Amino acid sequence: MPSGLHARSHTYYKRLILGYLLFCLAALFCFSNRIYAETEPVVGEPDSHEVYLKLKKGERVWKDKVYVAPQQPTVYLTFDDGPSKLTGQVLDILQQEEVKATFFVLGKQVEAYPDLVKRAVAEGHAIGNHTYNHVYGELYKGFSSFWEQIERTEDILAETVDIRPSLIRAPGGTFGNFDAFYFYYLDQAGYEVHDWHIDSGDSKRVGVPASEIIQTVRKGPFQDELIVLMHDGTGHEQTVKALPEIIRLFKQKGYVFAVLQPSVQPKHFAVGKVQQPRPSSEAGYEKQLAEAKVHELAMSALEQSRHAQQAADKANHSESSPMIQETAGGVSTSTVVGTKGSLLLTNHTRTAAAPLEVLLARKSLKLDTEHYRFKDGHYQVPLRQLMESLGGDIQWRGEQRTAVAHYGLHTLEYDFVQQELRVRDHGTTTTIHLPQMELQEGTVYVPLRGTLDKLRIGIATYGPEDGVMKVQVGMNLRL
Ligand SMILES: [Zn+2]
């Protein structure tokens, strides 16, 4: 308990209440083996010393992020510790069942079975980082060794499949292994750590029979969004055997199967008491934090340059066109890119910490952080405000659940029934299926750059300025 609280409790009654609260807290700590630590999202740049003190107390601190809830019950099957000689069979089953999954791979195994990782990626599965060698004694003696293994595995994956996953799974799960610092550094570095909701129990001991694995999964708990832990490492033949039945079980329950991605709300176990003592110093914290931030900058910078490259490749398209990236204010990212080689980043989903200002020809559109989103690498802005600022107009056709925007000779029809966007332009109509658009509480959100592109409006410059992310639009740059 912070001593400040004691200082403020002048009266006997206050002490009594405080004592009772302390007792309750202590009781909670004693009786619950998975305590969800007090958590606070941080908006903007928090004071790093304050954060240090919080982390030291075991409190979680994380960036403000937005996750997307699935439209229907969704299960994320995850396989850890591979690839191994069993992974091919797992991939065959997934292929037969038309199911996608996520593989949390070990760097060491990727070196041994690179082709299986290539196959998993080619078949649409997601790849996450499960460290290099899974040795608890090394991973949990202090964050720097965990970090080294994450980076090492990431480099191997970049070489093998040109992916630097932002998904991480802690060997053994985070409980009893991660402290608040581990969570914080990884979050600052742009990673998402995923524990699980259902443990299939396939690694409880050697050779757990398929029937027992199925029974364990059958017990649930079942909720709308579910992460299931399984293993495709050496010795897990019984998991392979159980897999078809497990897939059937979720299909019968009406689940759809999806891969984990940064927009999925991660499951985190609580910060428990760590099994291995580890040193901590504020200097070490500052150093590690700086390293985490450099990593994130490198990933963002590379994502940006990748998008720029895509822009150069295809000058005139829409959905796949470059989106504005969150940029790091005041820091030179070019040197960072050099150190990171060929980074590929999966998309981040988060709200940005700064207001967004779109400078148009005559007007500017200023949106506070709560009025726009930064999702999957795109700024998502309210369509109505954007059109009105441009001097265009917009109508909502309630019956068809379609928003129709006009700007000059361009018409954009966002159809939420057909889930398509029809772009009418100089007498031609282009239909985009499953476009980026979202209807939330009566507001249609669309990607800023993608939408401006469709209206043949280019973005001249963008970047942070005085705490505001400014986007300068160049009208009719490209006709
Ligand atoms: Zn593992």
Q: How far apart are CA 184 and CA 186, in angstroms?
A: 5
Q: Say how many Å lie between the CA of residue 82 and the centre of ligand 1.
A: 9
Please indicate, yes or no, if residue 9 is contained in any of the structural domains: no
Q: How far apart are CA 325 and CA 464, in angstroms?
A: 11
Q: Give 35's pLDDT tier (boundaries 50, 70, 90).
A: very low
* Contact (Cβ atoms closer than 8 angstroms) between residue 408 and residue 397: no
| Whether pLDDT at 454 is above 60 | yes
The residues carrying an active-site annotation are 80, 231
Q: Are residues 217 and 328 in the same domain?
A: no
Q: Say how many Å lie between the CA of residue 201 and the centre of ligand 1.
A: 12
- Per residue in 306-323, pLDDT tens? 777 777 776 655 443 333
Q: Which of 280, 311, 343 is the last residue of a domain?
A: 280
| Structural domain total, the chain | 2
For 31-40, 187-196, 340-349, which range has the lowest pLDDT when averaged over its residues?
Answer: 340-349
- Per residue in 132-141, pLDDT tens? 999 999 999 9
Q: Which of 280, 313, 330 is the last residue of a domain?
A: 280
The DSSP secondary-structure symbol of 369 reads: G
Q: Are residues 298 and 254 in the same domain?
A: no
Please indicate, yes or no, if residue 48 is contained in any of the structural domains: no
Q: Are residues 299 and 436 in the same domain?
A: yes
Please indicate, yes or no, if residue 33 is contained in any of the structural domains: no
Q: Say how many Å lie between the CA of residue 438 and the centre of ligand 1.
A: 37
Q: Say how many Å lie between the CA of residue 364 and the centre of ligand 1.
A: 51
Q: Are residues 222 and 260 in the same domain?
A: yes
Q: Are residues 352 and 269 in the same domain?
A: no
Q: Say how many Å lie between the CA of residue 352 and the centre of ligand 1.
A: 33
Q: Are residues 329 and 210 in the same domain?
A: no
Q: What is the average pLDDT across 92-101? A: 97
State the chain's mean pLDDT as an integer.
80
For 65-79, 222-236, 239-253, 291-305, which range has the lowest pLDDT when averaged over its residues?
Answer: 291-305
Please indicate, yes or no, if residue 15 is contained in any of the structural domains: no
Q: Are residues 132 and 185 in the same domain?
A: yes
CATH code for position 255 = 3.20.20.370
Q: Say how many Å lie between the CA of residue 104 and the centre of ligand 1.
A: 8
For 87-91, 222-226, 326-330, 431-435, which range has the lowest pLDDT when averaged over its residues?
Answer: 326-330
What lies within 8 Å, CB to CB, of 335 at 6+ separation is: none
Q: Which of 254, 280, 306 is the last residue of a domain?
A: 280
Please indicate, yes or no, if residue 403 is contained in any of the structural domains: yes
Q: Are residues 352 and 271 in the same domain?
A: no
- Per residue in 188-201, pLDDT tens? 999 999 999 999 99
**Contacts by residues 381-387 (CB-CB < 8 Å, ≥ 24 positions apart):** 381/356, 381/445, 381/446, 381/447, 381/448, 381/451, 382/443, 382/444, 382/445, 383/414, 383/437, 383/443, 383/444, 383/445, 383/446, 383/451, 384/443, 384/444, 386/358, 386/446, 386/448, 386/451
Q: How far apart are CA 184 and CA 288, in angstroms?
A: 10
> Terminal CA-to-CA distance of the chain, rounded, Å?
63
Q: Are residues 138 and 182 in the same domain?
A: yes
Please indicate, yes or no, if residue 103 is contained in any of the structural domains: yes
Q: Are residues 264 and 328 in the same domain?
A: no
Q: Say how many Å lie between the CA of residue 296 and the centre of ligand 1.
A: 25
For 40-44, 352-356, 395-399, 427-431, which range has the lowest pLDDT when averaged over its residues?
Answer: 40-44
- Position 180 scores a pLDDT of 95
Q: Give 330's pLDDT tier (boundaries 50, 70, 90).
A: very low
Please indicate, yes or no, if residue 29 is contained in any of the structural domains: no
Domain span at residue 435?
292-474
Please indicate, yes or no, if residue 55 is contained in any of the structural domains: no
Q: Are residues 200 and 92 in the same domain?
A: yes
Q: How far apart are CA 323 and CA 304, in angstroms?
A: 8
Q: Are residues 256 and 299 in the same domain?
A: no
DSSP 191-218: -EE---SEE--TTSSTT--HHHHHHHHH
Q: Say how many Å lie between the CA of residue 136 and the centre of ligand 1.
A: 10
CATH code for position 415 = 3.30.457.10
